[in-house]
A and B are shown apart, each in its own frame.
Chain A
Amino acid sequence: EVQLVESGGGLVKPGGSLRLSCAASGFTFSSFTMNWVRQAPGKGLEWVSSISSGSSSIYYADSVKGRFTISRDNAKNSLYLQMNSLRAEDTAVYYCARDYYSFDYWGQGTLVTVSS
């Protein structure tokens, strides 16, 4: 059974940093592109970043480019999102999602709140 479990969310002050993790199981993690998608409270879905299976291709939404860094460790079946220079508008539930013709499996999400 495919499982994606995010962790690392919490309350952080504007300008601060946070590192999200996503632990994957139930599939060959190293064979799939992985993604981060976020959802601000009461709002729609926003794609954040994608990383190819071997980390050779990485993409970011303009809203996070230069502040967020996606990475993965295929030996640990883990996906990461390093978030720096956080802003109030980054407050959201962050989901990791596997990519098979788009986002076929999603985690339960982790809440990031940016507030002073």
Chain B
Amino acid sequence: DVVMTQSPLSLPVTLGQPASISCRSSQSLVHGDGNTYLNWFQQRPGLSPRRLIYKVSNRDSGVPDRFSGSGSGTDFTLKISRVEAEDVGVYYCMQGTHWPRAFGQGTRLEIK
């Protein structure tokens, strides 16, 4: 099974500063159809998860453009260009290439 490893697990950030979360998979996430099904989710306190990014770098509708995803193969990154107060929560990467689906452990973003 594919294992997803995120770092850091805790991320204190000053408002207005950038933030970056790394996600590594134990095997390549390139699907046989040529796509890479790596996704990022945000879970604000007390709420259901919300998808931010799909297929590595595609932002979902309504997601601010300060969020961006990049990477390939086994190494991926979620970047927030300028952190805002509403970004507090836990961020998860998830691979949708292989069965079983797998999430990373989560990265808790807090305001310093």
Interface on A for B, CB 8 Å cutoff? Answer: 35, 37, 44-47, 50, 59-62, 95, 101-104, 106-109
Interface of A is mostly: strand
Q: Which of B39, B90, B100, B105 contacts A102 (CB 8 A)?
A: B39
- With A and B bound together, what is the CA distance between A106 and B43 in angstroms? 11
B51 partner residues in chain A, CB cutoff 8 A:
102-104
B48 interface residue per 8 A CB criterion: yes
Give chain B residues whose Cβ lies under 8 Å from the Cβ of A62. 100
Contact of A103 among B49, B58, B100, B104 (CB under 8 A): B49
How many interface residues does B have (CB within 8 Å)? Answer: 24
Chain B residues with CB under 8 Å of A106's CB are: 48-50
* Complex: A107 Cα to B37 Cα, angstroms: 22
Known A45-B41, A101-B96; contact A109-B103, beta-carbon cutoff 8 A:
no
Report the minimal beta-carbon distance from A35 to chain B, rounded to whole angstroms. 8
In the complex, A22→B60 CA distance in Å? Answer: 23
**B91-102 vs A, Cβ < 8 Å mask (1 yes, 0 no):** 010101001111
CA distance A101 to B60 in the complex (A): 11
Give the shortest distance, in Å, between A57 (CB) and chain B (any CB).
Answer: 10
